[in-house]
Structure 1
Amino acid sequence: MSAARTDPLGTDRLGTGRLGTDPLRTDRLCADVVRAAEPYATAVVVALADGERAEVRCTGRLGHGPGSAPCTPETVFELGSVTKTFTALLLARLVSGGELALDDPVESHLPPDWIAASVRSGEPIRLLHLATHTSGLPRLPPGLLAGAVPTWFSNPYGGYGERQLRDGLARTTVRARPGGRYGYSNYGVGLLGRLLVEAGGGASYGELLAEKVCGPLGLRHTTCAPDAPGRATGYRRGRALPPWRIPGLPGAGAVRAGGADLLRYLQAHLRPGDGELGAALREVQRPRLRLPRSGDQLGLVWQHRHAGGRELWFHTGGTRGFTAFVGFSPPTGTAVAALANTGPTLDGRFLQSAYELLRGLSGPDR
């Protein structure tokens, strides 16, 4: 990317020592991630952990133009569907605290004035179904596409709020038996986020996440605020985009974070610790089902894969102007987060390069 060539920042290290069993290979794989974000990204962050060693490599600036601030480990990027891993952890945290159960039906946590809007299904949809994409709900809620057309290439969820979600529930018919079939659903995890808000006492999704997850983990710059300070500008094919807004389904894609916070987040999954949050971090990593036409499994939102003798957990995300990857390997104590301020591409080069970095950091094929 041009900004990286003319104004590189190099590496901002959070720890000491070079990472990986083959440092030169790690450097090459990191360079591949940066190149995969070209030509439209102006800022790329690659965060890595290997046991007690950790670093955040920051390249470029927050936007075009000589006055744009440099990218740092605290620079805030939109995470898109990586948000769903935060929603899963929030669910597990409330379960570990006894505030709800994975088998609770959706209806038990709807707001009181939403009961009439209950989804039509032959069997109850349970919170576990929402967190494993087996609810039978469609990928998107009714009514969203029609309202999203004017802003489809910038902010398609921006006009879909809580009222639209409530009205959409009343128009939803489940077409597959809950728990019977996998089908990725932004609608399902977004609805889960709203139910967790109700179970958690009515604070907003962002407030509840800060109280139960981000605060205890020390994630100081992780937020759902579209106008978060220190944020990078998102780009789609070189065109600057406004901040991503998803008011009706924040649990599906509203979280923003920087490389330093994501590294702490992933390290917490590697070393869960004790207490209710430790129990929650372990719970999201328990395999629940095998994905169709794949050897992969699914935990709570997280995808689990055995590859070349490695055990990998990962998730990807994207908004119109950002692309994100997070992954970790518990047996080797390794983790990778990769962020770019440009939207996902059809070939998925950036995400694939980040995945290959996680594989490489986790050791050679066996």
Structure 2
Amino acid sequence: MHSGDRLSNSAPSPRRSPPCCSRPWPRAANSRWTTRWSATSPATGGPPPSAPARRSGCCTWPPTPRGSPDCRPGCGPAPPAFFSNPYAAFGDEQLRSGLTRTTVHHRPGSYFAYSNYGVGLLGRLLAETGNGTYAELLADRVCRPLGLRSATTGRDTPGRATGHRRGRPLPPWHIPGLPGAGAVRAGGADLLHYLRAHLSPGGGELGAALRDVQRPRLRLLRSADQLALVWNHRRLDGRDLLFHSGATRGFTAFVGFCPQSATAVAALANCGPALDGRFVQGGYEVLKRLSHGRG
């Protein structure tokens, strides 16, 4: 949860959700670690207001029903995979089994918390509604129309970076049962194309969807910040900042944009998160400066 003009520095374990902070800035002397920053300036637009709601959990993440577990029932990662590939064994069978034990504890829309399980389940439901897999739906409905060439859910894509934790290489995360929870991989250029599409959505169903995900749904208690779909929304000095951060054990990312100034930032690092949140906070500070015309 962000406090004042800072972002979260709490890091839930993979048993709950991917952490929402970052590791300290990678040292330039360590050739195994790389950091990529990108910024762009396309077009303008702005989201409407929203209603208040109760909150719970790590609120820098998208709102999901509190009835959805933070991770998934019955799938605690085996100790050897806890710091490397904690969801690799969670497939269709585990998903079906977990669904039978999932209960809703609050009226929908009245209580929320971040849930990998809930977001991943939404991805599965969308894919099944579209009569395909999540990878096929993503490619057909989002990646190809937006011209995203590197974005994929594949594990071993050519030229991919290697993630690290404490200087040691890690395998890419594999999430067969819930790919919508964090199986998408993309490079910095594609992330900027994706952000540019949010700044200038265009027409058609995809354009309408890009505008809709920016609309705040929930306002945090004791805060002026709001939550849209996936995007966090903050009103700062008359401008709207929409942003999201995420991480696996070996990678950290921050993306954000400001409709009024037509600016966007994508920051990527192939090292895992740490409690101080310096990398993600740095990405946010860059976005804030650019939104006010300061490079």
Normalising by the smaller structure, the TM-score range is: 0.7 to 0.9
Rounded to whole Å, the distance in 2 between the matches of 1:307 and 1:136 is 32
Rounded to whole Å, the distance in 1 between the matches of 2:200 and 2:99 is 38
| Structure 2 residue 36 is the aligned partner of structure 1 residue 45 | yes
- In 2 relative to 1, CA 161–292 (structure 1 residues): closer, same or farther, beyond 3 Å? farther
- In 2 relative to 1, CA 34–348 (structure 1 residues): closer, same or farther, beyond 3 Å? closer
| Structure 2 residue 251 is the aligned partner of structure 1 residue 308 | no
- 171, 184, 187: which one aligns with 2:117: 187
Query: Which residue number in structure 2 is paired with residue 15 of structure 1?
Result: none
Over residues 37-87 of structure 1, what are the superposed CA-to-partner deviations in whole Å (9 max), with x where a residue is unaligned? 3376621111101248xxxxxxxxxxxxxxxxxxxxxxxxxxxxxxxxxxx
Paired letter, 1:137: S
| Structure 2 residue 208 is the aligned partner of structure 1 residue 219 | no
Paired letter, 2:65: T
Identity of aligned residues (%): 62
| Structure 2 residue 236 is the aligned partner of structure 1 residue 247 | no
Paired letter, 2:73: P
Rounded to whole Å, the distance in 2 between the matches of 1:224 and 1:309 is 37
Query: Which residue number in structure 2 is paired with residue 141 of structure 1?
Result: 72
Residue 35 of structure 1, CA deviation? 7.7
Map 1:52-201 → 2, pairs under 5 A? 132-145=63-76, 147-201=77-131
Paired letter, 1:155: N
- In 2 relative to 1, CA 336–173 (structure 1 residues): closer, same or farther, beyond 3 Å? same
Rounded to whole Å, the distance in 2 between the matches of 1:175 and 1:148 is 28
- Any gaps of 5 or more consecutive residues in structure 2? 1-21, 44-61
Rounded to whole Å, the distance in 2 between the matches of 1:317 and 1:333 is 23
Paired letter, 2:232: Q
Query: Which residue number in structure 2 is paired with residue 36 of structure 1?
Result: 25
Paired letter, 1:226: R
Residue 337 of structure 1, CA deviation? 0.3
Q: Which has the higher contact order (CA 8 A, sep 6+)?
A: 2
Rounded to whole Å, the distance in 2 between the matches of 1:348 and 1:309 is 26
Q: In 2, are the aligned partners of 1:324 and 1:340 still within 8 Å (CA)? A: yes
Q: In 1, are the aligned partners of 2:219 and 2:227 still within 8 Å (CA)? A: yes
Structure exhibiting the larger radius of gyration computed from Cα positions: 1
Query: Which residue number in structure 1 is paired with residue 14 of structure 2?
Result: none
Rounded to whole Å, the distance in 1 between the matches of 2:101 and 2:147 is 40
Q: In 1, are the aligned partners of 2:26 and 2:35 still within 8 Å (CA)? A: yes
The alignment's TM-score, normalised by the length of structure 2, stands at 0.81
* RMSD of aligned Cα (Å): 2.0
Give the number of aligned pairs. 253
Residue 34 of structure 1, CA deviation? 11
Over residues 133-191 of structure 1, what are the superposed CA-to-partner deviations in whole Å (9 max), with x where a residue is unaligned? 1352121111121x433300001111111110110010122222221112111110010
Which has a greater percent of helix?
1
- Any gaps of 5 or more consecutive residues in structure 1? 1-32, 53-130
Rounded to whole Å, the distance in 2 between the matches of 1:257 and 1:348 is 22
Over residues 232-289 of structure 1, what are the superposed CA-to-partner deviations in whole Å (9 max), with x where a residue is unaligned? 0000000101111111111010010001100000000000011111111111111111
The alignment's TM-score, normalised by the length of structure 1, stands at 0.66
Q: In 1, are the aligned partners of 2:23 and 2:252 still within 8 Å (CA)? A: no
| Runs of 4 or more consecutive aligned structure 1 residues displaced over 6 Å after TM superposition | none
2:84 aligned counterpart, secondary structure: coil
Query: Which residue number in structure 2 is paired with residue 355 of structure 1?
Result: 284
Paired letter, 2:41: D
Residue 132 of structure 1, CA deviation? 3.1
Query: Which residue number in structure 1 is paired with residue 13 of structure 2?
Result: none
- 317, 324, 349: which one aligns with 2:246: 317
Residue 364 of structure 1, CA deviation? 6.2
Rounded to whole Å, the distance in 2 between the matches of 1:233 and 1:192 is 28
- 193, 198, 208: which one aligns with 1:279: 208
Paired letter, 2:248: T
Paired letter, 1:207: E
Paired letter, 1:187: Y
